[in-house]
Structure 1
Amino acid sequence: MRGAALKDAVAFRKLYEASSPRLYGLALRILRRRELAEEALQESFVAIWDHARDYQEGLAAPMTWMSTIVRNKSFDVLRRHRHEAELDGVEFDDAVMATLRDPVASPADLHQLSSEAKALAACMAALDEQHRHAVGLAFFHDLSHSEVARRLALPLGTVKTWIRRSLVRLHDCLTGRRTG
């Protein structure tokens, strides 16, 4: 831990190798999904590297201190992914419909919204699955392009391109429905 506090990469690597299996197990018990546990472990070791100088030997053992970081990062990951929904098929249609519903809308308004939501869902379904997922995360889950890129483990430029192209396709699809 002292070496990591001094930003000694070799010492940090040894700390990682000695503690990561146990800390990964902790994250996996909390998150129950390998990819989420890996995400939490990575974020934890970044935090450990950044804050190793703040570790106080007299307050806790190194493993206890690192376990607390992993637990907290795991809960952060859990909160971020809790409301994540797959944007396919019926689940997507239901999500679109729920998003567009207005509790005080008249029956005529509801019919119009329902028609527009169905048109949007049909146009979204025509997109490539990965592009549809990126657009859904950005617009239905209100994530920034950077957050979408992190969530999908893709370069930011790729995500921006997918979303921009998808919006053009959606526009073309929706305007084609209205005029045709």
Structure 2
Amino acid sequence: MPTTPTPFDYEAALLACARGERFALRALYEREARWLLGVALRIVRDRARAEDVLHDAFMQVWDHAATFQPALGSARGWVYTVVRHAALKAVREPGRMQVMDVTELTAISDARQRDAGVEDDRALDTDSLERCLQRLDEARRACVVHAFVDGYTHEQIAQRLNTPLGTVKSWIKRSLASLKECLA
């Protein structure tokens, strides 16, 4: 009879990091590194650079864990935001800007495909998210992927898709509502 994995308490891990307990940072890293590397890699488009971004981001998590405020969002989301912002900062450094070419919706499953065969409680969530994303109109799906996977601003998405800014904002808002409903 299969056992259900024990849920990971991200908030407790961040609180332990804030107290200087190194095991908590290690636990966070072991739990999320492969997915966070995928987030960084999708943005910076270079594995070595993505690994540097991930290292820097975990140092920021360690240094700033005490600033996490549960009332503002989930602890796991906070960690992902730290990594995403570190990757975006790396891309925006002068002289290091890279053009990202997004032609398909593959970013969400990249990490899962690399780790095929690894059982995790997030596999169902990834499959559900992919299924729900596929239900979106192609242009709306592209807006969501550009915004939340590639880290583009609404203005960059509007330029890239040659679509009015207000339309892009509206599509993203409606698409997120649809995804929330689909995943519920």
Greater RCO, 1 or 2 (C-alpha within 8 Å, sep 6+): 2
TM-score normalised by the chain length of structure 1: 0.44
Q: Which of structures 1 and 2 has the bigger CA Rg?
A: 1
TM-score normalised by the chain length of structure 2: 0.43
